[in-house]
């Protein structure tokens, strides 16, 4: 498996269950490729941070306070995340 395919699968695994074949191939690749292991960790951390930010933003909006991010900033972040995957 190439690193390109591995990073695609890592990204896709955040949104859908991988097939058994995909999971096995990805695990084998991750064992031997430090770069893809690092990418997987970074993507997981980014997702966690964004989920926390979204929860904070939703709480602030629900309480009548302004959202943490402007709509423009949210759009830029969303577009950047899409371009990565």
Domain count, the chain: 1
Block residue for tokens 């997702």 = 47
pLDDT digits (tens, 9 = 90+) for 30-59: 999 999 999 999 999 998 888 888 777 665
Residue 56 structure tokens: 């904070």
State mean pLDDT over 70-85: 80
pLDDT higher than threshold 60 for residue 25: yes
Environment class of 53 (CB within 10 Å of its CB; exposed 0-12, middle 13-18, buried 19+): middle
Supply the range of the domain harboring residue 61: 3-84
Q: Looking at residue 63, what is its pLDDT?
A: 57
If you average pLDDT over every residue of the chain, what do you get? 86
Question: Cβ contacts of residue 35 below 8 Å, gap of 6+?
Answer: 3
pLDDT higher than threshold 90 for residue 26: yes
Q: Looking at residue 66, what is its pLDDT?
A: 57
**Percent composition of the chain: helix, strand, coil (DSSP 3-state, to 5):** 80, 0, 20
Q: Is the dihedral of CA 72, 78, 81, 82 positive or negative?
A: negative
pLDDT higher than threshold 70 for residue 23: yes
């Amino acid at each position: 498996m190439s690193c390109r395919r591995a990073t695609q699968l890592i990204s896709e695994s955040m949104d859908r269950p991988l097939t058994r074949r995909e999971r096995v191939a990805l695990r084998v690749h991750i064992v031997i490729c430090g770069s893809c292991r690092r990418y997987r960790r970074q993507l997981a951390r980014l997702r966690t941070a964004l989920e926390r930010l979204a929860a904070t933003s939703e709480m602030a909006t629900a309480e009548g306070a302004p959202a943490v991010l402007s709509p423009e900033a949210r759009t830029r972040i969303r577009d950047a995340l899409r371009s990565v995957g």
